[in-house]
Amino acid sequence: MENNFGPLLTAMVTPLNDKLEVNYDQAAKLATYLLENGSDGIVVAGTTGESPTLTFEEKCELFKTVVAAVKGRGAVIAGTGSYSTKESVKLTIEAEKIGVDGIMLVTPYYNKPPQQSLYLHFKEIASATSLPVMLYNVPGRTGTNMSAETTLRLAEIDNIVAVKEASGSIEQITDICRKAPPGFALYSGADPMTLPILSVGGVGVVSVASQIAGKEIKKMINAYFNGDVQLACRIHQQLFPLFKGIFISSNPIPIKEALNLKGFNVGNPRLPLSPLNAEQKEKLVRVLEELDEVKL
């Protein structure tokens, strides 16, 4: 099995209403907008989608909502990973029944499994589905780095087709790209690292910033693969303030505020996350204003 998700995947926020209930209508509208503005696919109920605070039922309803809205125009990848192997298997099986195109499995957080345990965790979930699987390594949020060796072992499993790498280690990322079997894809898991990762063998990005600048990020990726590295570099540099600005607080607090400022009405995050303070919001407003002035 090979990865067919496309180079630009968006880690979509989960819209909430004033009562902090999931706003499914707005989720459908946002998913449609993303596909019309550069995204090849959408990750639903990932960590940017506040997965730790969503119930099993809410996640399933989100998957149904986005699958119905997308209508096959792009990949719908369900975030079904957690720190519980049993619960991840249960949600994965349900996501496949709903009709998603793939699943994303984050490295278990808090419980810090050793490398062999990570291998067994991901192997068991992958064996419960026929869907293509993308692993997600983000040690800054989970407390555990999945080593290149473990990723490469998992890449030998037929339906594990990709990894979203947010370790920040170009050495580790290069090692995976160099040794991965044919058809296994590595995606950047951090917007500022996209262009550097493309240069060592990555295929694209699972992006947060593409909710604001999807067409521009897609233009950067296309420019790189078309051999216009100078253009890709220029776009990367022009987008860099946005890449940094949407992480002035814990993700997805700033990107939800940015979307609200752009008129998308995605609401505030659920506790334990809270909205930006006045100073942070002012900085984000300036970042968005400067982006509007840039000719990409």
Which active-site residues does the annotation give? 136, 164
Q: Is the dihedral of CA 120, 140, 202, 287 positive or negative?
A: positive
Distance from C-alpha of 111 to C-alpha of 277, rounded to nearest angstrom: 31
Task: Based on DSSP, count helices (H) and strands (E) in the chain, helices before strands.
Answer: 12, 8
At CB < 8 A and 24+ separation, what contacts does 55-63 make? 56/87, 56/90, 56/91, 56/94, 58/22, 59/91, 60/91, 60/94, 60/95, 60/98, 61/22, 61/24, 62/14, 62/22, 62/24, 62/27, 63/95, 63/98, 63/100
| Strand 41-44 with 75-79, pairing | parallel
Residue 260: partners with Cβ closer than 8 Å, 6 or more residues away: 266, 267
- Residue type at 147 in one-letter notation: S
110 CB burial (10 A radius; 0-12, 13-18, 19+): exposed
| ∠ Cα 115 116 117 (to 5°) | 90
| Residues making up the chain, counted from first to last | 296
